[in-house]
Amino acid sequence: MYISEIILRDFRNYSSVSLALQNGVNIFCGANAQGKTNLVEAIYYTCVGRSPRTPRDKELIRWDGESAYLSASAQKACGKVMVEGYLTRTEKRISINGLPISRMGELMGAINAVFFSPDELKIIKESPSDRRRFMDIDISQLSKAYFYDLNRYNKTLAQRNRLLKTGGNITDQLSVWDLQLADTGSRIIKARAAFIDKLKVYAKNAHAELTDGAESLDVDYECIPSYDRADIREAYLAELSRTRTKDLFNGYTNIGVHKDDIALGIGGADIRAYGSQGQQRTATLALKLAELEIFAGETGEYPILILDDVLSELDTARQRKLIERIKNVQTLITCTHTDIAFDSAAVFTVKAGSISREQPGSE
């Protein structure tokens, strides 16, 4: 899988850009605040229908514009696909191969991507919600059913929480919502557990390679015990019953997939709390490399890899190991200078919302 062309109009600081990409490494070089991250943000948006930087689509529209357009044309094993996005100050519309989609779930899997920036360290060191989002974005790209289950769960959870805030004799009503939460939640737990089972193996191998075997990364899913789905559902209902008094007192649901987390450890120490900056950075990179392998295993082809201002954060040895691991993946790299040892890379200069490709051998 690779993206062959990206078109932007009135997106962030780009008035109009049409850019051909190669199936390999593409490097976007320029000073800060020139538009490098804006470009890869747009590419990621065509893959998952959301920005990795802001939940507000209107912020993606050029400051003096009323609307924005973005499109990505990709070549997949099954054929060509083009994703287009039309954004206004009040709405967004997305189409695939010229056909508008009615639900965001239809976009999932059209073009798959793994995104890595320095901000992704929050997967390791910040809140459980960041780690849940990490899981949810990946699994949603691999499974539309999961994406819809997640939406259904969040709507049910919101309705249960509204009921909890009303007080009074609501036991029978809560039981109805409990059944729905347990039913949908058990499917989500099962999917997440399967994802983490794969992730932990690939991440451990990638981490061992990055650290030359000096450290071992352990990854586990912290949730209601996950065996077969029927057992999860019954355990879920039991937990909701056990915490009902607390839920009524607090006015919200205290347990469930919206509280799950990923445990990350090295040598028995929890690196979420006690890992050094270097350990957290290396663990995050290992998770990203693991994502690539999961996508390849599930879909038969690698996703697009986006590395936004990442290589400057890595020492020379880790840069070299990363380069070796991604040689078969279309990779989009942003950086401030191009002294990076990639063979046959396409190098682009980004300046004030304008992009030009450097000719081989140019200074």
Q: What is the pLDDT of residues 313-328, one digit of tens each?
A: 788 888 888 888 888 8
Domain identity same for 281 and 182:
yes
Mean pLDDT value of segment 21-38: 94
pLDDT band at residue 226 under the 50/70/90 scheme:
low
Give the SS3 label for residue 165: helix
The single-letter code of the amino acid at 330 is Q
Q: Give me the CATH number covering residue 342.
A: 3.40.50.300
| Domain assignment of residue 349, given as a range | 1-112+303-363
What is the structure's pLDDT at 185?
Answer: 96
Domain identity same for 166 and 238:
yes
In a domain, 118, yes or no: no
Domain identity same for 329 and 270:
no
What is the structure's pLDDT at 197?
Answer: 95
Mean pLDDT value of segment 12-19: 96
pLDDT band at residue 363 under the 50/70/90 scheme:
very low
pLDDT surpasses 50 at 134:
yes
**Tally of structural domains, the chain:** 2
Task: Using CB atoms within 10 Å of the CB of residue 297, give its burial: 0 to 12 exposed, 13 to 18 middle, 19+ buried.
Answer: exposed
In a domain, 1, yes or no: yes
Domain identity same for 142 and 98:
no
Domain identity same for 170 and 198:
yes
Compute, in degrees rounded to 10, the torsion defined by CA atoms 325, 329, 330, 334: -20
Mean pLDDT value of segment 208-212: 91
CA 46 to centroid of chain Cα atoms? 13
Q: How far apart are CA 72 and CA 301, in angstroms?
A: 18
**End residue of a domain, out of 300, 334, 349:** 300
Interhelix angle 128-142/277-299, nearest 10 degrees: 20
Note whether 43 and 349 are within 8 A (CB): no
Task: Using CB atoms within 10 Å of the CB of residue 191, give its burial: 0 to 12 exposed, 13 to 18 middle, 19+ buried.
Answer: buried
Q: Model confidence over 328-358: pLDDT tens digits?
A: 899 999 998 866 667 788 999 999 999 999 8
**End residue of a domain, out of 277, 300, 323:** 300
In a domain, 197, yes or no: yes
**End residue of a domain, out of 300, 318, 334:** 300
What 264-272 contacts at long range (C-beta under 8 Å, 24+ apart), as own/partner pairs, is 264/124, 264/217, 264/218, 264/219, 265/217, 265/218, 265/220, 266/215, 266/216, 266/217, 266/218, 267/215, 267/216, 271/124, 272/124, 272/125
Among 9-13, 72-76, 175-179, 210-214, where is mean pLDDT lowest?
210-214
Q: Model confidence over 252-304: pLDDT tens digits?
A: 999 999 999 999 999 889 998 888 888 898 999 999 999 999 999 999 999 99
Q: Which residue's entry shows tokens 């990854």?
A: 219
What is the structure's pLDDT at 326?
Answer: 86
Q: How far apart are CA 189 and CA 156, in angstroms?
A: 16
Domain identity same for 10 and 129:
no
Domain identity same for 252 and 277:
yes
In a domain, 169, yes or no: yes
What backbone torsions phi and psi does residue 84 show, to the nearest 5 degrees?
A: -125, 145
State how far the alpha carbon of 170 is from the alpha carbons of 22, 117, 119, 164, 167, in Å: 60, 46, 43, 8, 7
